[in-house]
Amino acid sequence: MLTEKYKPKTTKDIVGQNSVVEKLKYWFVNWKPGSRALFFYGPPGTGKTSIVTAFSHEHKLELIEMNASDYRTPDQVEKVAGAASTQNSLTGRKKLILIDEVDGLAKGEAVAPLVNLIKNSSFPIVMTANEAWDLKIRALHEVAELMQLKKVMPSSVARKLKDISTREKIEIDDGTIKSIAENSAGDLRAAINDLESLSSSFRESKVSIFDAVRKIMKSESAKDAKSSLNSVSEDPEYVFWWIENNVIEEYKDPEDLANAMRALALADLFRTRIRKQNWKMLGYFIDMLTAGTAIAKKQKYSSFVMYRPPEIIAALGRTKKVRALRKEACKKIGKYLHESAAGVNAVYLPFLKIISQNMDVAASFGLTEEEMEILKN
C-alpha cells in the first residue's frame, strides 16, 4: 500500500495543513493538566491522524493511540483511556494520547466518560472525527478546542503524487497526475490509492493506456484506430471503460458525441455476448470500440483533453485493501476451523459477524484490530 509506505514520518511530510500543524505545536507546548483537549475534524484523507502520528514521531513522544470505535461500552472507555491518562510514562518520554474517530463512538453515553477523562487527564489528548457537530458528541465541545481540517488542494495533492511517483519510478504524465488530483476532491488517501491502482496497470501494459485512448479518439482513419490496440497489452474491455469515460470530454460537437455513443452502445452489446463465451463477437466489439468511435467525428479535435481513469478502476483500487484484509482474516480463522479461506468467507463469516457482537472473536483467532473491522462491517 502506497498510503502506508508514504505515511508522513515528520510534519514536514504533511502537505497543505500548515496552520493545523502550527496549532498542534502551540497547543502541545502550552498544555498543562486541566487544559482543553484538541479536536481535529474534517473530511477523510486530509491528514487528521497522520499529523498527530508524525508530530509524535518528530518529537519522540510516547503516543497512545486508540480508535474510539473500539469502545463498546462506557466502562471500556474508562478502563483503557483512564489508565493511559494516569500512569507515568515508563520510558520517561512525554505522552500524547490520540483518540481517533470519536464520531464512531459506539453509543452516545460513551461520550460522558470521555469528557471526564479529558477533564482529569494528566496528559494532553487529541481527538479526531469527520464531523464535529453531531449531537451525540456535542458534549466534547465543552472540553476541547476545535480545529477544522480543510480538503487538501488539488495542487498540493498533485505535488505529493508527483513526489511519490518519482520515488516509485512510476512513469506517469503530469496531465494524468493532475486529473487524479482533481478527481480526489481533496482526499489525499483516495488520490494515492488511485495512483497505485493506475500504476499497476501501467506496469502491465507495454504502451500506456493513455496512448491508446488518445490514438482512438484523435485518429480519423478506421484502420489507424484499430491498430491502436495492437501495441496495448490491455484487455479491450478495459480500453472500453476508458473510452466510455472520456469521449464526452473529447467530442465537443453533440452530433459527433451522439454518433460515438451509438458506436459504443453497439460495442457494449457485442461485449455482453463475449461474456457469454461467444468469442466471434470479440472482433466486432473491437471494431465498434476503435474504428466506430474514431470515425464518429467529422474531424479531429485538436484541443488537449486530460483523460481520466474510469471510476470503475479507481473503485477497484479503493477496495483492494479491504479485500486483502478480509482474505487474511479468513485465512487465520480457517486454520482453527480446518477450512479454506474461501470456505470461511462463504460459510462462517456471516455467523462470526453476529457472534462477534457479544464475544471477543478477535482474541480466539488472533486477528488484528484492522482485520476485526472487516467482521464488524
Residues that bind Mg ion (CB under 5 A): 48-49
Stretch that binds ligand ADP, among 14-22, 216-224, 228-236, 323-331 (CB under 6 A): 14-22
Q: List the 144-148 sheet strands across, edge first.
A: 62-67, 95-100, 125-129, 37-41, 144-148
- Contact between 17 and ligand ADP (CB under 6 A)? yes
- Contact between 215 and ligand ADP (CB under 6 A)? no
DSSP 259-301: HHHHHHHHHHHHHHHHHTT-TTHHHHHHHIIIIIHHTTSSS--
Residue 370: CB atoms within 10 A of its CB come to: 13
Residue among 98 and 294 whose Cβ is closer to Mg ion: 98
CA angle 177, 179, 184 (to 5 degrees): 95
**CA of residue 210 relative to chain centroid, distance:** 23
* 8-state DSSP, 14: -
Stretch that binds ligand ADP, among 45-53, 69-77, 237-245, 266-274 (CB under 6 A): 45-53
Using DSSP, state whether 26 is helix, strand or coil. Answer: helix
Shortest Å, Cβ 248 to Mg ion: 35
Residue nearest ligand ADP by beta-carbon distance:
47
Yes or no: say if 214 and 232 are a contact pair by the CB < 8 Å rule: no
- Contact between 228 and ligand ADP (CB under 6 A)? no
Stretch that binds ligand ADP, among 6-14, 103-111, 174-182, 212-220 (CB under 6 A): 6-14
CA distance linking residue 218 with residue 211, whole number of Å: 10
Give the x-and-dash track for 91-130 against ligand ADP (CB under 6 A): -------------------------------------x--
- Contact between 3 and ligand ADP (CB under 6 A)? yes
- Contact between 8 and ligand ADP (CB under 6 A)? yes
Binding site for ligand ADP (CB under 6 A): 3, 6-8, 13-17, 44-50, 128, 152, 160, 188-189, 192
